């Protein structure tokens, strides 16, 4: 390079020319620097706006119901998706009366093997070389450990709240990087939904850790008369409910760092 791309400092002169060329002596300005700086500032602005609008979305009666429906849809789709992954047919059910559950059947070995074949085909088609080999070995070792051991039941119980945290991560990431359409309305909506889902889960876990009243209400508030997820996890692991809630609280605290990390990676990839 003849000129530093950041400050315009002349690094060396062209040997073929006795006099410095105009391009060598003129400070070089990178036009993309200003938009990138502005984009970084806007990302933080929309992230902050989402944090401000999330309480309105969570506490306004009509919007609160919309938030509950969205959270329930993501939650039950998490249960159902994990069930299908492990070879158990499942259907999410959401009642307008305020109940939600994901009903699944017994595990089908044929369905589980079909899932393995599909995943292996996707790995083979999308990856190559060492990455393909690592992914296939991971699939061969990891899938049986997930689908055919007691880990399946634990993963299925945690998949609902886990899906909420993953969706919150996606929303906050899209708030930061501009979303799929670069629309300001889209970014604000993503920020609102992301903070709402994250705040809901953190508030639930904090209540289960700190408040006996919250734990009592949680024990009796299962949809369709079923037992809530964290209670079943505590029973399965023989842990106390606050311990389970503490683990999920830690997982929730990782959502924002994960979203920031994805934003940095996507920014570098598009640079």
Task: Give the start-to-end residue ranges of the domains of the chain.
Answer: 49-92+154-271, 108-149
pLDDT tier at 15 (50, 70, 90 boundaries)? low
Residue bearing the bigger pLDDT, 142 or 62: 142
Confidence of residue 16 (pLDDT cuts 50, 70, 90): low
- Residue-level pLDDT at 31: 44
Better-scored residue on pLDDT, 215 or 13: 215
Reply yes or no on whether the pLDDT at 208 is more than 90: yes
pLDDT for res 51: 95
Mean pLDDT of the chain: 88
- Three-state SS for 3? strand
The predicted pLDDT at position 236 comes to 95
Which residues are within 8 A (CB) of 162 and not within 5 positions of it... i.e. 6 or more apart? 78, 251
CA–CA separation, 23 and 245 (whole Å): 62
Q: Which of 90-99, 105-114, 139-148 has the lowest mean pLDDT?
A: 90-99
Q: Token digits for 217?
A: 């209400």
Res. 37: pLDDT tops 70: no
- At 94 the three-state DSSP class reads strand
Determine the Cα–Cα distance for residues 67 and 58; give it in Å rounded to an integer. Answer: 7
Statement: residue 162 has pLDDT above 70 = yes
How far apart are alpha carbons 193 and 179 in whole angstroms? Answer: 13
What pLDDT score does 87 carry? 95
pTM: 0.82
Q: What is the pLDDT of residue 32?
A: 43
Compute the C-alpha angle 80/255/252, nearest 5°.
Answer: 75
- Poorest-confidence range of 25-39, 92-106, 118-132, 219-233? 25-39
Residue range 153-171: mean pLDDT, rounded: 96
């Amino acid at each position: 390079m003849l000129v530093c791309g950041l400050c315009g400092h002349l690094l060396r002169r062209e040997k073929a020319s006795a006099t410095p060329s105009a391009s060598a002596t003129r400070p070089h300005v990178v036009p993309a620097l200003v938009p990138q700086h502005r984009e970084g500032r806007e990302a933080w602005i929309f992230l902050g706006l989402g944090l401000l609008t999330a309480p309105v979305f969570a506490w306004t009666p009509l919007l609160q119901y919309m938030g509950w429906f969205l959270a329930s849809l993501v939650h039950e789709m998490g249960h159902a998706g994990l069930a299908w992954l492990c070879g158990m047919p499942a259907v999410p059910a959401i009642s307008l009366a305020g109940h939600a559950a994901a009903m699944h059947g017994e595990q089908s070995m044929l369905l589980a093997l079909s899932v393995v074949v599909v995943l292996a085909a996707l790995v083979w088609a999308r990856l190559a070389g060492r990455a393909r080999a690592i992914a296939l070995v991971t699939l061969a070792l990891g899938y049986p450990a997930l689908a055919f051991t007691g880990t399946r039941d634990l993963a299925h119980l945690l998949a609902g709240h886990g899906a909420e945290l993953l969706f919150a991560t996606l929303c906050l990431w899209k708030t930061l990087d501009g979303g799929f359409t670069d629309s300001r309305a889209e970014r604000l909506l993503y920020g609102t939904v992301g903070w709402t889902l994250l705040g809901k889960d953190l508030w639930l876990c904090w209540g289960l850790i700190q408040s006996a009243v919250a734990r009592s209400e949680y024990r009796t508030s299962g949809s369709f008369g079923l037992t809530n997820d964290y209670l079943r996890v505590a029973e399965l692991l023989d842990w106390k409910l606050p311990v389970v809630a503490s683990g999920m609280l830690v997982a929730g605290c990782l959502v924002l760092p994960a979203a920031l990390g994805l934003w940095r990676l996507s920014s570098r990839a598009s640079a």
